[in-house]
Amino acid sequence: MKRIIYILILISLSVHSYSQDFDLIINSNGDSIACHIDSITDTYIYFEMKIRENWVHTYKKLEDIAEYKINAIDKNMIKFKNGSSYFKSINRPTSIYYIPRNTLYTELCGTGGVITVNYERLIPINYNISIALRLGIFWFPELYVPREVNFLIGQHIHFLEFGVGTHSFSLNEANACKVGYRFQSEKGFMARAVVLYFPNHEWIPNIWPGLSLGYSF
C-alpha cells in the first residue's frame, strides 16, 4: 500500500500545476489519509479529515507519521473508503488536464491530397473541456495556412472535437467550421478524423475531410 501511495505522490508532484484538493498524511502503519492540514508543531500535526461522513478536526503525533505532503492529491484520482478520508484505491486519471499540452502532427485534408504540418497548443478549461489553438502550413503547389480555435470535449483518450478557423490559400482566405473525433493515447500518439465545412466559396469545395496523425508532449 505504501508503495502505491509513494507512486501517487510522484504523480501528484509531476502535475502540481493542476487542480489539487487535499493534503496527504501517511501513517507509520501504511494507512493514507486525504485531509486538510491546519498546522504543524514540533510534536503534533493538526488536520481535518472525514469520519463517518463528517469532517472533523483532529491531530496525530509526528512520531506516528511516516510522510505528509501539502496539496498533493487530486480528488478525482482517489476512491475513498465509505464515510472516511482513508484511501480505498487510486483511480486511473481521466481528466483532460492530464493530456500533454503540445502536439505536432500532419493532416491529410481535402480531395486533392493536401498534407499540412501543424502545431497545436491545448489550454484546459475544466476537467472535460479544453481549447486547442492550431497553426499549420502547406507550401506546394501553393501556400496554405490553416489557423483554428477548436474545442475538445471528453475524458481520458476519446474526445469530440469541433471548432472554427480561417484558412489562407495564397491570396485568398476562407472561413470554416469543423467537427470530428480525436484519439489521444496516454503515451502521446494522436489520431483524428474531422470534416470541415467551407460555406459560400466557389473556388473551394464546401466539404473537406481531414485525417491527422501526430505526437503530443
Fill in the amino acid letter for 23: D
Cell of 198: 467551407
Amino acid present at 17? S
Confidence (pLDDT) at 17: 41
* Grid cell at residue 180: 470530428
Sheet holding 32-40, edge to edge: 54-61, 44-51, 32-40, 22-27, 65-73
* Predicted local distance difference test score (pLDDT) of residue 86: 84
Which residue ranges form the domains of the chain, and what is each CATH number?
2-8+15-91 (no CATH), 97-216 (2.40.160.20)
Q: How many residues does the chain have?
A: 217
Q: What is the mean pLDDT of each run of 10 residues along the chain (217 residues)?
A: 47 45 87 91 94 91 92 72 74 66 91 85 86 89 88 88 89 89 89 91 82 94
pLDDT value at position 48? 94
Query: pLDDT value at position 125?
Result: 85
pLDDT at position 45 is: 96
The per-residue pLDDT for 83 is 76
Residue 202 has a pLDDT of 73
- The per-residue pLDDT for 15 is 43
Q: What is the pLDDT of residue 92?
A: 53
Find all residues with CB under 8 Å of 54, minimum gap 6, and list them: none
Which pLDDT score is estimated for 59? 95
Question: What's the grid cell of residue 145?
Answer: 495556412
User: What is the distance between the terminal CA atoms of the chain, rounded to a whole angstrom?
Assistant: 30
Q: What pTM, to 2 d.p., does this model score?
A: 0.58
